[in-house]
Amino acid sequence: MTERIKTIEEFAKHVDYSLLNTLTPDPQSTSDGNDHDPRQVFSGHYVPVTPTPLTAPTYIAHSETLFAELGLDDSLATSKDFTQLFSGDMSAVPAPMKPFGWATGYALSIYGTEYTQQCPFRTGNGYGDGRAISIIEAVFNGKRWEMQLKGAGRTPYCRGADGRAVLRSSVREFLVQEHMHALGIPTSRSLSLFMSESDTVDRPWYREGSHSYEPEVMVENITAISTRVAPSFLRVGQIELFARRARCNEHSNALNELEAIVKHLIEREYAGEIDTTAPLDEQVVALAELFRSRLTGLVSNWVRVGYCQGNFNSDNCAAGGFTLDYGPFGFCEFFEAEYQPWTGGGRHFSFLNQPIAAQKNFDMFCRSLMTLLEGNSEQLSKLNDINDGFSGVMESAMESMWATKLGLASYDHDLLIKLLQLMLRTGADYNMFFRELSSIPEDMAGLTKSFYYSPKAEVLTEWEVWLKTWRERIEKDAEAQDDQTNAITAIAENMRQANPKFTWREWLIVPAYKAAEKGDFTQIHELQSVLTAPYDEQTEEVENKYYQMRPLEFFSAGGVAHYSCSS
């Protein structure tokens, strides 16, 4: 067994800056990364930027799981050099690490519509990483990772903001990324979390005990920096940016920049699946088909566990097909098809509309790739067919997911629709209901604990009919096996692996980040433990605390039931 990395000097030996070495910097950028004022960025793939360090950084947590995957020793997380680097101070990094990071630009599309008016310059040249700065790209245990500080100060893309992240949003993102990984869903990962002992920023938020929909007051918040990690942070919106410039021929190198970033995307995210020696037009078509498979699988798994992205713009859609940008996200508790935790999100990004939102993002991706295939009617036709086929592939992924959740050998549309209707009428807790169903109960007594209110007699009768029909399907599937009793036991176990017991409940997260504001991180560490074993049966104490439905007082509570993007 290889000895784990214990020092920053050993850590630095693994750096390998493929993005900086193969792509083009903004010609107007500085070589030292002293580039923190908002400005238009007209060309180039990245801007060198130095992070702005936290004052008096305090260690909160790190992911032991990710440290182990990277080959890092846990002692590194609390070392002076690690703290300095991952709280934003790159002034003393050892060679061959670079003493600056980089920020990238992207375009904005919302639900399939291109936007530029939100850009402060009204040109679209101001969108990008406003408070995210990548500082390291490295290879650990044969796998390439990019490490990005969230909340490390201003970049040219900050659009007049301060580039900082508040403790609340940093705790949420740190916890949820590792939770999502434990749920078995592709995601960016969490490396570390530090907060400042003195730096604060003002953000609009809710008064204590508020039931307002929008924030009412400006609140002073402690600042923090979380480090998120992924194979790359390339987004659909980035590919869009360079495609828009190429279509309009905004500058002489526009088409070359688009081609370069698409090649880089393939190399970073799909090299194991695409023949990079093949002609580029063939690689582009293969890229679209592979991304379609990843994206449909991702979104169907979001629905499986009750996750709602909240703001699934193309710039929040990772081109590698994993979950990225945990801003106004939430997990559905009281089941609603149109559940939307973000006050600015709308129905188009609501819970069960996410497959359509994904299709809109995929369409923007394909439209961007078409720019590289102009004049090639054969490959354009293939790309259009892949794009047109998205809805069918998405539907198939969703049907497979629902069958798995219900323990069925094949999808049953009528059975599912009737179930969702009953869940809506009864007020069922989404994840708790499916977890209880995984025990394959013989009567409704095994399910009613997941109902927020008791169903009327006629509705209960409908429930009993549904449960009987479902059990008959389970038993019929089991009959096809040699040992029916063991087959039903196996079905129940498979359902438990599809339906998590412990999932994100915002009202249990709020006390953790409020305690952290006072220097108490015990609840964060406890949540780390619980949320990284979501399918397991845990202790009675954990179950009593974390396997609960949302209390009535939190149903319309600002900052719990819904929240703005003030982070």
Which positions are annotated as active-site residues? 315
d(CA 202, CA 105): 26
d(CA 78, CA 84): 10
Amino acid at 399: E
Which residues neighbour 375 within 8 Å (Cβ) at sequence distance 6 or greater?
none
The answer to whether 26 touches 43, Cβ cutoff 8 Å, is: yes
In the numeric block, the tokens 């390998």 are attached to 16
Structure tokens, 559:
């900052």
Which residues neighbour 425 within 8 Å (Cβ) at sequence distance 6 or greater?
455, 459
Which residues neighbour 461 within 8 Å (Cβ) at sequence distance 6 or greater?
none
d(CA 324, CA 297): 15
d(CA 327, CA 193): 16
In the numeric block, the tokens 């590792």 are attached to 178
d(CA 258, CA 315): 16
d(CA 211, CA 382): 51
Quick check: helix, strand or coil at residue 33? coil
The answer to whether 345 touches 333, Cβ cutoff 8 Å, is: no
